[in-house]
Amino acid sequence: MRWVFQSKQDTATVDALAQALGVDSMLATLLVQRGVTDFESAKQFFRPKIEDLHDPFLMKDMQKAVDRIEAAVKDNVPIMVFGDYDVDGTTAVALVTSYLQTLGAQITPYIPDRYAEGYGISLQGIDKAVAEQTPLIIALDCGIKAIDQVAYAKEKGIDFIICDHHQPGNKIPDATAVLNPKQKDCSYPYKELCGCGVGFKLIQALTMHRGGTAVELASYLDLVVTAIGADIVPITGENRVLAYLGLQVINENPRPGIQALGASLKKKEWTISDVVFVIAPRINAAGRMKHGAYAVEILLEKNVELVQNQATAIETYNSNRKELDRSITQEALAQLDELKEENRMTTVVYHKDWHKGVIGIVASRLIETHYRPTVVFTQSGDVLAASARSVKGFDLYNALEACSEHLLQFGGHKYAAGMTLLPDQYEHFKAKFEQVVSETIEPDMLIQQVAIDCELSLDQITSKLYRILKQFAPFGPGNMTPVFATHNVVDTGYAKRVGKDETHLRITAVQEKGKPITGIGFGLGDRLPLVANQSIFSMAYSIDENEWNNRVSLQLKLKDIQ
């Protein structure tokens, strides 16, 4: 790994913040790195309030969206709430559906079939709206590129409100309202909302239009934080407020569906990591293995007994998803071994029988072993469909745009995307993608990096420090868990490989004559020789807690050893 240390912060700013907050310069440095530079910004960072949210009417077309929905509610006509089949889309559909139902609206939630309809707004969904005489569709977490679909709907007398956060193309759909803060002519001050976050801004605007405030909407934030965590959007600014308050809802009074999906989690307090690694995969599993509508049903359901039955079914889907993910990853790695493409800057693999629902996960797994931009294809009807993942710093979306001559469609973000192409274009795309990445990627981007906030000595690691660091949460892009480096460390002699396959490393680190502290390095079992025989080493790590036999102690989560 390449160790990248944070650039030095302005000393005067750090000293002034340390004095204002009564903390040491190390903690003040961590805060300045996160854009916290004075008492007021620190107060907002540590104690976000729902009043800190921006006015939703600052978003382009918000008034148009509110007026159209209010007209539909007044006329008592059906509204279709259409969303993508992933966590962001299904939580957004559950959020907007449940809110509009409180206004007495007639709502049909609609999630496209991942396999029969594919990503985004589908003609099948529009045709269903036509058949049911539904004059309005609200699209969530999709639609910003649905030029033809929105035009088709308009011909059929159906209005569209698009709530999306993906990168817009050169042309915007001719919808009644397009809510997307990434539009060039949208002056909304925060650009990094997820799809469910844009949906929340819509219901916030509707509430304000009716004389209410965002405080009334707190109960919906368990859905929003789940989407924020799953979609890996920055946990900064408004997202931090929504995530912080959403975790409070999850810990104090979650909806029955969220509670049932997290039933395996035996913890007093859930963190955003628990949302990402426990709840989100189970919501995703419904769309990957069966149908995303199942996820919406469990998120809307209020009957606890029914919810538990639904959660049991989704648990089965999740177990099947894990098995598929494992076996397809092994097949993809074997394919890479056969291809012997060590000198490539990209990974592109294909098998006609791979399950479309897990190829995104497989792409992420391949990056763990072959660290480079990765695309995994499978057969989907008459076309090939793919999920792509990128490495830190490399804009995957721009690279795909440069390959668009070979693609039928594509969409996504800087680090994750999906696409389809005709089978005869596969080899052409593979060659073009390799060429584009080779010409644009920086060599350093192909070496996995660990970002280090600052250096510590082991005697600085105390329970008090850990309690303060915990208050930096929720963690995520833009506010990652602080990572420290410590040099001149030795192991006390008890270092060993642990885990079923002995792939992890457990050490007991000590510096000079200080107190020893244990560390666990997942996937670092091969580093044992570096710490054996009283060898001096450096380590990069975050600080964590370990609970064993009802005893809680501090431990280090090792990122790398040199």
Tens digit of each residue's pLDDT (9 = 90 or more) over 41-60: 999 999 999 999 999 999 99
Confidence of residue 67 (pLDDT cuts 50, 70, 90): very high
pLDDT of residue 557: 97
CATH number of the domain at 409, please: 3.10.310.30
Average pLDDT, the chain: 94
Give yes or no: residues 438 and 461 share one domain. no
pLDDT in tens, 506-532: 999 999 878 999 999 999 999 999 999
Q: Is residue 300 part of a domain?
A: yes
Q: Is residue 507 part of a domain?
A: yes
pLDDT of residue 72: 97
For residue 289, the enclosing domain spans: 56-312
Give yes or no: residues 71 and 210 share one domain. yes
pLDDT of residue 74: 97
Q: State the number of CA atoms in the 13 A half-sphere of 169 facing the CB.
A: 17
In three-state secondary structure terms, 523 is coil
Any idea which of 310-324, 419-433, 504-518, 532-546 has the lowest mean pLDDT? 310-324
Confidence check: pLDDT of 540 > 90: yes
What is the pairing mode between strands 496-498 and 484-491? unpaired
CA distance 278 to 360: 18
Q: How far is C-alpha 482 from the geometric centre of its chain's CA atoms?
A: 19
Tracing tokens 């420290």 back to the chain, one arrives at 484
Joined tokens for residue 530: 């570096």
Residue with more model confidence, 167 or 384: 384
Confidence of residue 474 (pLDDT cuts 50, 70, 90): very high
In three-state secondary structure terms, 469 is helix
- Residue 212 has what DSSP assignment? -
Joined tokens for residue 537: 């080493």
Last residue of a domain, one of 395, 427, 446: 446
Tracing tokens 């039955």 back to the chain, one arrives at 309
pLDDT of residue 340: 83
Confidence of residue 24 (pLDDT cuts 50, 70, 90): very high
Confidence of residue 287 (pLDDT cuts 50, 70, 90): confident
Q: 110, 352 in Cβ contact below 8 A?
A: no
pLDDT of residue 497: 96
pLDDT of residue 110: 97
Confidence check: pLDDT of 411 > 80: yes
3-state per-residue secondary structure call for 263-313 = CCCCCCCCCHHHHHHHHHHHHHHHHHHHCHHHHHHHHHCCCHHHHHHHHHH
pLDDT of residue 204: 98
Give yes or no: residues 212 and 123 share one domain. yes
Give Cβ neighbours of residue 284 (< 8 Å, ≥ 6 apart): 86, 87, 230, 295, 321
pLDDT in tens, 185-209: 999 999 999 999 999 999 999 999 9
Give yes or no: residues 93 and 193 share one domain. yes
pLDDT of residue 267: 76
Give yes or no: residues 376 and 488 share one domain. no
Residue 135: is the preceding peptide bond cis (ω within 30°)? no
Query: How large is the average pLDDT for residues 254-268?
Result: 86
Query: How much of the chain exceeds pLDDT 70, in percent?
Result: 100
Last residue of a domain, one of 446, 481, 512: 446
The secondary structure element, H or E, covering residue 53 is none
What phi, psi does 205 have (nearest 5°)?
A: -65, -40
Give yes or no: residues 481 and 416 share one domain. no
Confidence check: pLDDT of 341 > 80: no
CA distance 327 to 320: 11
Nearest residue to 506 via CA among 515, 496, 516: 496
CATH number of the domain at 474, please: 2.40.50.460
pLDDT of residue 488: 96
pLDDT of residue 263: 84
pLDDT of residue 342: 76
Q: How far is C-alpha 426 from the geometric centre of its chain's CA atoms?
A: 28
Last residue of a domain, one of 446, 472, 493: 446
Nearest residue to 420 via CA among 389, 390, 383: 383
Tracing tokens 């302005």 back to the chain, one arrives at 10
Confidence check: pLDDT of 16 > 90: yes
What is the pairing mode between strands 374-380 and 383-389? antiparallel
Query: How much of the chain exceeds pLDDT 90, in percent?
Result: 83
Give yes or no: residues 176 and 264 share one domain. yes
Give yes or no: residues 194 and 252 share one domain. yes
Confidence check: pLDDT of 421 > 80: yes
Tracing tokens 């800190």 back to the chain, one arrives at 52
Angle between helices 39-46 and 11-21 (to 10 degrees): 60
Confidence of residue 292 (pLDDT cuts 50, 70, 90): confident
Tracing tokens 């993910």 back to the chain, one arrives at 325
Residue with more model confidence, 118 or 482: 482
Question: Can you give the length of the chain in residues?
Answer: 562
Cα 228 to Cα 165, 167, 316, 409, 475, distances in angstroms: 12, 17, 25, 25, 11
Q: 119, 132 in Cβ contact below 8 A?
A: no
CATH number of the domain at 196, please: 3.90.1640.30
CA distance 221 to 250: 8
Confidence check: pLDDT of 265 > 80: no
Confidence check: pLDDT of 169 > 90: no
pLDDT in tens, 216-249: 999 999 999 999 999 889 999 999 999 999 999 9
Q: 72, 206 in Cβ contact below 8 A?
A: no
In three-state secondary structure terms, 34 is coil
Q: 323, 351 in Cβ contact below 8 A?
A: no
Q: How far is C-alpha 370 from the geometric centre of its chain's CA atoms?
A: 22
Confidence check: pLDDT of 332 > 80: yes
Q: Is residue 2 part of a domain?
A: no
Q: Is residue 329 part of a domain?
A: no
* Strand partners of residue 552: 547
Confidence check: pLDDT of 487 > 80: yes
What is the pairing mode between strands 537-548 and 517-521? unpaired
Q: Is residue 489 part of a domain?
A: yes
Give yes or no: residues 268 and 353 share one domain. no
pTM (2 decimals)? 0.90
CA distance 161 to 329: 39
pLDDT of residue 232: 86
Q: Is residue 134 part of a domain?
A: yes
Tally of structural domains, the chain = 3
Q: Is residue 36 part of a domain?
A: no
Q: 153, 137 in Cβ contact below 8 A?
A: yes
Tell me which amino acid residue 261 is.
L
Confidence of residue 339 (pLDDT cuts 50, 70, 90): confident
Give yes or no: residues 429 and 500 share one domain. no
- Binning the chain into helix, strand and coil, the percentages to the nearest 5 are 45, 20, 35
Give yes or no: residues 297 and 216 share one domain. yes
Residue with more model confidence, 291 or 72: 72
Q: Is residue 327 part of a domain?
A: no
Q: State the number of CA atoms in the 13 A half-sphere of 279 facing the CB.
A: 34
In three-state secondary structure terms, 495 is coil
Angle between helices 221-230 and 87-102 (to 10 degrees): 160
pLDDT in tens, 344-368: 999 999 999 999 889 999 999 999 9
Confidence check: pLDDT of 266 > 80: no
Give yes or no: residues 197 and 272 share one domain. yes
